[in-house]
Amino acid sequence: MKTPTTLFITLFLNTLLFGQADDKKTSFSLKEAKEYAAENSYFSKSAMMDVQKAEQRVKEVTGMGLPQINASASYNYFLEIPVQLAPASSFNPAAPDDEFLEFQFGLPSNMKAGITATQLLFDGSYLVGLKASKTYKELVQAQQAKTQAEISRDVTKAYGMVLASEENAKLIGTNETQLQKMVDEADAMFKAGFMEEKDVDQLRLLLLNTQNLKMQTENQQKVATDMLKFTMGMPIKTDITLTEKLDDIKNPFSDKEANLNAKLNIENHVDYRAATVNLRAQELTLSNEKMGNYPKLYGNFVYEGNSFGNDFNHFSSDGKWFPTAILGVQLNVPIFAGGARHNKIQQAKVGLEQANLRMTQTEEGLFLDMANKKSAYETAIYKLDNSTKNLELAKKIKDQTQIKYSEGMSSSVELTQTENQYLQSQMNYIMTVIEVIQAKADLDYALGTK
């Protein structure tokens, strides 16, 4: 029977191991890859940090309206006490007017310590600034949403490219195996005197070209995988496995009717939201400039003590402190600033007009972009349909040619041509699938959906 201590250690180790397994996740579906990127992408992390900075900015501006308290202390030792002059006639009416008496006031050792509190009582600019800081936070959040949408789009494209390169490598590998078998059979027939050497060489040439293409495709697969890991924010040296295949994700992306009938909800689009927040920010900028013409009122409280002596004995029993307490208000009323405030207001008005113009431009641009992305998607679907038919025809021709070749009714040149044609049709098909996936990812972004 396990003791409580043993049970606790077992549970702790299991939790630690499972936690490490989650942290080192290396198998991803497309949905999981996008979720991972949303948390770990370099751009996503940077956007999160921008939001954190904006939150601190709101707190900073809010704190400006709270009491500001400062403590201060100073010490001076006069090596020479300042001399003051006074007319001698003030003490002796018979003294000449140009005669002065010299006096030394004060003691050489002086110390002062105090505390000062100030409170903003009214400042229109502060109230506007408080709203502006919150609007700035909204703008940063809109930019973060835009970043997340871009990451989702880019991960979808990168994930598709990896699947495409894997599929290409698999097809070329299968083709290589078949060609190697054909070369071996042709070589045996040549040695038996049933085939010419040039026909065997033709097959060998096709095999070498296929092997070169296989190496090139494998390198492309590695580059595509590294790009996906970079987009996700995963270390390049980490090995990952994609749990989906190209055909698994093709169907949702190739649903032509649903995708072409999708509508743009412009209010939810990240670009439109950012333009809306920017417009509000410009409105607040104009309000802030106008508030520059209003008075500002501050309250303050000062409490300080002064101590004097011939020596530094301010904290001894002989030292004496003389307190001073002041409670006051300060009113600043702007009267004339040489036209600077008026010109700032006019600049802010122009800025607001520009923000309105950008709003209109953004709205029209989003509808135009949606139309372009739908057109590109429709073209990609059309090419996919054609490449599917081409692949079926190429396979049919290839199978027929292989039968004729085995029966001695077709040459190795014709067989080579049909093999190349079929391989090219396979690769074209895979690339058109990728075009559909990428066009759908762009369309989703244009529609404001992830």
Question: How much is the pLDDT for 15?
Answer: 43
Whether 242 and 309 map to the same domain: the answer is no
Whether 181 has a pLDDT exceeding 80, the answer reads yes
The predicted-structure confidence for 351-380, as pLDDT tens digits, reads as follows 999 999 999 999 999 999 999 999 999 999
Whether 60 and 78 map to the same domain: the answer is no
Whether 101 and 145 map to the same domain: the answer is no
pTM score? 0.76
Q: Which residue among 333, 362, 380 closes a domain?
A: 333
Q: What are phi and psi of 306, to 5 degrees?
A: -120, 140
Cβ neighbours of 45 (radius 10 Å): 13
Whether 284 and 371 map to the same domain: the answer is yes
The predicted-structure confidence for 46-74, as pLDDT tens digits, reads as follows 989 988 988 888 888 888 888 999 999 99
Answer yes or no: is 8 within a domain. Answer: no
Q: What is the distance between the alpha carbons of residues 172 and 215, in angstroms, rounded to a whole number? A: 10
Answer yes or no: is 19 within a domain. Answer: no
**Any idea what the CATH number is for the domain that residue 211 is in?**
1.20.1600.10
Answer yes or no: is 112 within a domain. Answer: yes
Whether 260 and 396 map to the same domain: the answer is yes
Task: Give me the sign of the Cα torsion angle 270, 271, 274, 275.
Answer: negative
Whether 223 and 320 map to the same domain: the answer is no
Q: Which of 176, 188, 198 is nearest to 411 (CA)?
A: 198
Split into its structural domains, the chain has a count of: 2
Q: Which residue among 310, 333, 356 closes a domain?
A: 333
Question: How much is the pLDDT for 176?
Answer: 85
Whether 205 and 143 map to the same domain: the answer is yes
The predicted-structure confidence for 220-279, as pLDDT tens digits, reads as follows 999 999 999 999 999 999 999 999 888 888 887 888 888 888 888 888 888 998 899 999
173-182 contacts, C-beta under 8 A, 24 or more apart: 173/214, 175/210, 175/419, 175/423, 176/207, 176/210, 176/211, 176/214, 179/203, 179/206, 179/207, 179/210, 179/419, 180/207, 182/415
Per DSSP, the residues of 400-447 read HHHHHHHTT-S-HHHHHHHHHHHHHHHHHHHHHHHHHHHHHHHHHHHH
Q: Are 450 and 444 within 8 A, CB to CB?
A: yes
Q: What is the distance between the alpha carbons of residues 89 and 337, in angstroms, rounded to a whole number? A: 48
Whether 116 and 153 map to the same domain: the answer is no
Whether 248 and 192 map to the same domain: the answer is yes
What is the DSSP pairing of strand 241-242 with strand 27-28?
A: parallel
Residue 229 corresponds to which tokens in the numbers above? 């890991």
Answer yes or no: is 12 within a domain. Answer: no
Whether 372 and 428 map to the same domain: the answer is yes
Whether 136 and 155 map to the same domain: the answer is yes
Q: What are phi and psi of 120, to 5 degrees?
A: -75, 120
Per DSSP, the residues of 253-318 read HT-HHHHHT----GGG-HHHHHHHHHHHHHHHHHHHHHHTTS-EEEEEEEEEEEEEESSS-TTSTT
Whether 18 has a pLDDT exceeding 50, the answer reads no
Q: Are 285 and 351 within 8 A, CB to CB?
A: yes
Answer yes or no: is 18 within a domain. Answer: no
Whether 389 has a pLDDT exceeding 90, the answer reads yes
The predicted-structure confidence for 78-104, as pLDDT tens digits, reads as follows 888 888 888 888 888 888 888 888 888
The residue segments making up the domain with residue 83 are: 73-122+296-333
Whether 211 and 246 map to the same domain: the answer is yes
Answer yes or no: is 283 within a domain. Answer: yes
Q: Are 367 and 446 within 8 A, CB to CB?
A: no
The predicted-structure confidence for 299-351, as pLDDT tens digits, reads as follows 999 999 999 888 888 888 777 899 999 999 999 988 887 788 888 889 989 99
Q: Which residue among 309, 333, 357 closes a domain?
A: 333
Answer yes or no: is 23 within a domain. Answer: no
pLDDT bucket at 13, cuts 50 / 70 / 90: very low
Answer yes or no: is 3 within a domain. Answer: no
Q: Which of 183, 184, 156 is nearest to 35 (CA)?
A: 156
